[in-house]
Amino acid sequence: MSSAAITAPHASTPARPQGRRPSTLTVYRWELRKLVSQKRTYLGLALIVILPVFFVIFQNVHQRHDRGAESIFASQITHSGLATPVLMLTFLSLFMLPLVSSLVAGDIVANEDGNGTLKTILTRSVDRGQVLAAKVLAAFTYAVLAVFLSAAVGTIAGVISWGFHPVTSLSGTVVQPAEALELIFASNALYLIPLLAVASIGVLLSVVTRNSAAAVVATIGSVILVDIIASIPGLEGARPYLLTQQFEAWQGLLRTPTDWAPITHSAWLCALYALPALLAAYLVFLRRDVAGG
Amino acid sequence: MRARGLVKRYGELIAVDHIDLNVRAGDVYGFLGPNGAGKTTTLRMALGLITPSEGTVELFGRDPMRRGAAALEGVAGFVEAPRFYPYLTARKNLELVAALDGGGARGRIDEALDAVELRPRAADRVGGYSHGMRQRLGIAAALLRRPRLLILDEPATGLDPAGMRDMRGLIRRLASEGITVLLSSHQLPEVQELCDRVAIVDSGRVVYEGALADLRRRGGASYRLRTTDDKRALALLASHAGVGDAAADEHGLLFKAHERDVGELSLALAGAGIGILALAPQLATLEDLFFRLTEGDGAVESTGGAAPLGASSGNGSVRGHDAPEVPVA
């Protein structure tokens, strides 16, 4: 090391005025930069991009027109490209999007704990609450990105293949392409409500388990478990309160008039899942010993 | 930094057992102890990374457990090995920690990289760095905060001899610029060379805290003597009150004595017609003292006599495992 001088304040001098403490937004920006710099981030997004493209190619190759027995949107695949993103959301919302969101949410704290970098950031000038808030926001951002990327790819691929034509809603009314596009956007936005609840649970598990793999598997495992519970005969009364049942609440938008009941139900119910999970994550993170790495 | 009655329990295990530390402004303070003695756990508590089971730590009068990041203002360093994001370059890593520091830390990145001679490798990902390079990057990250207290846990671990020499030089220079340094280290010669005050911990308890010079003086109340007639001088030493452990070797005679008795002894030697060619105090090395305090029978003596561990003198204090602190007179 050189003898280049780094000027250090003299120990006996009074504490110098400090610059402004970093904002949570600054910490959040760096969380995003970390996400952007990791290959894992792109793995999840690649799955989300590949599946709609693969779906459209497969439909083109097989030229199956008569799918009326499946769903109203399946029957319209080749009539309008705008049916594709709706169908993709139906398919991906149950497992793939929760999985992709869990990859980041479950990893975001545990990974840093395991690598010891949590010590590095917690010995700087930011509070633990700021660090956790930034990580939660980053996990949410990733989930939002995954959902809208999937919607965008599905829409583009569908429109390229089958055109920008009107679609028929779940109520049987014809929806013009521009309005359909708005509904697709709004449906994906509404789907984010339960998905962010899943991400919140992922962050909690990431804080508690301190193990990335365990947190990711436990998050997606809990989604599968709840889905299994929902299918058990005799538990019909519990279904409206299960998180996975909210994954289809967005379909209320695709009825005429809009069916708000499942949407509002989903909103408050998901808040009941997400807020306690985030509060618990905060309390644990605030008090926990950080000795990993 | 001031720690009072610091305790950390993990179930039945007591990792840190009522540790008191006083790191004063301007100190280069050595924190020594065998593996598992509780050094790193103590430093983690000091930096607010883990919560003490009992007791308090204050950094410039601020408790990191109560004040959070605000308590760390003016404090920097690392516990165990410094950790960075392997997928980011060194410069990006420093930009990240500088962003989390706020103020003008970002503007000091080049300066910090220069200080640890990593600027030419700043564009490389940290994943490809050697252990020594990461240690140096850890110092650079600490310097970005312009600390008044620098806490370094084994900074020379994994460095080659040249790297260790450079690290010592850097610590010496930072100390000369007024930074208080708390240095946890296994490198006893390094601590002996750099530190003016030390705490030695064993099994979670402080067995000595105080001036290093005082400890060495107490542990090394022995003298080397060469005379015109070593045989007669040895006989005289053996019979002289206040002199112990007299022995001869190829370099002359070695004995232990109170400082005040050495004057009387020299007169006695002269009176017996024995000429003194050389008489010099032999200070024990830190290594000797460390092993005596942590492995041996605790036979670190006070300056004034052959008092065992638990008695003391000077500015430091030696503490027995089951005895309360005995203040040094």
Q: Answer yes or no: do B226 and B271 share one domain.
A: yes
Lowest mean pLDDT among A195-199, B21-25, B67-71, B241-245: B241-245
**CA of B179 vs chain A CAs: smallest distance (Å):** 5
**pLDDT band (50, 70, 90) for residue A65:** low
CATH number of the structural domain spanning residue B246: 3.30.70
A289·B68 Cβ contact <8 A = no
| Structural domain includes residue B115 | yes
Contacts of A38 in chain B (CB under 8 A): 87
- A242 or B323: whose pLDDT is higher? A242
**Is residue B294 one of the residues assigned to a domain?**
no
Residue B298 located in a structural domain: no
Domain that holds residue B254: 221-282
The pLDDT mean for chain A works out to: 89
Whether residue B266 sits in one domain with residue B156: no
Stated pTM of the model: 0.84
Inter-chain touch A3–B173, beta carbons under 8 Å:
yes
User: In this complex, is the C-beta atom of B102 within 8 Å of any C-beta atom belonging to chain A?
Assistant: yes
- Residue that is last in its domain, among B179, B211, B243: B211
- The Cα–Cα gap between B45 and B62 comes to 13
**Does residue B327 fall inside a structural domain?**
no
- pLDDT confidence band for A8 (50 / 70 / 90): very low
Cβ of B100 within 8 Å of Cβ of A7? The answer is no
Average pLDDT over residues A117-141: 96
pLDDT exceeds cutoff 70 at A12: no
Judged by CB atoms within 8 Å, which residues 71-130 of A form the interface with B? 115-117, 119-128
pLDDT, average across residues A37-52: 92
Instruction: Compute, in degrees rounded to 10, the torsion defined by CA atoms A278, A284, A287, A290.
Output: -110
- Are residue B128 and residue B241 in the same domain, yes or no? no
Q: pLDDT confidence of B287, banded at 50, 70, 90?
A: confident
Write b or e for each residue in B182-199: b if 16 or more Cβ atoms lie within 10 A of its Cβ, otherwise e: bbbbebbebbbebbebbb
- pLDDT, one tens digit per residue, over A104-117 is 999 999 999 999 99
Are B186 and B230 in a shared domain? no
Residue B24 sits at the chain A interface (C-beta within 8 Å): no
Average of per-residue pLDDT across B90-103: 94
Query: Is the per-residue pLDDT at B305 higher than 90?
Result: no
- Judged by average pLDDT, the poorest of A1-15, A148-162, B62-76 is A1-15
Chain A residues in contact with B65 by the CB 8 A cut-off are: none
For residue B116, is it within any domain?
yes
Q: Is residue B51 part of a domain?
A: yes
Q: Which two tokens stand for residue B303?
A: 């300056």
Residues B21 and B127 reside in one and the same domain: yes
What residue has token string 């990461």? B134
Quick one: B106 and B6 in the same domain?
A: yes
B296 assigned to some structural domain: no
Cα gap B218→B299, rounded to integer Å: 10
Query: How confident is residue B311, by pLDDT bands cut at 50, 70 and 90?
Result: very low
B145 contacts on A by Cβ (under 8 Å): 124-125
Residues B237 and B186 in one domain: no
Mean pLDDT of chain B: 85
Same domain, B33 and B88: yes
Position B62 pLDDT exceeds 50? yes
Are residues B183 and B47 part of one domain? yes
Residues B101, B125, single domain; the answer is yes
For B:133-162, CB contacts with A below 8 A are 136, 141, 143, 145-149
Q: How far apart are CA B302 and CA B59, in angstroms?
A: 32
Residue B119 lies inside a defined structural domain of this protein:
yes
* Residues whose CB falls within 8 Å of the CB of residue A154, separated by 6 or more in sequence, listed in order: A52, A55, A56, A84, A85, A87, A88, A89
In the predicted structure, residue B162 carries a pLDDT above the cut 50? yes
Instruction: Let me know whether B249 and B172 are in one domain.
Output: no
Say how far apart CA B182 and CA B308 lie, in whole Å. Answer: 28
CATH at B118: 3.40.50.300
Q: Do residues B204 and B233 share a domain? A: no
Percent of chain B beyond pLDDT 90?
52
- Among B79, B145, B180, select the one facing A11 at the smallest CB separation: B180
Domain count, chain B: 2
Would an 8 Å CB–CB cutoff place B74 in contact with chain A?
yes
Instruction: Residue B95: name the closest of A29, A293, A9 by CA.
Output: A29
Last residue of a domain, one of B161, B176, B211: B211
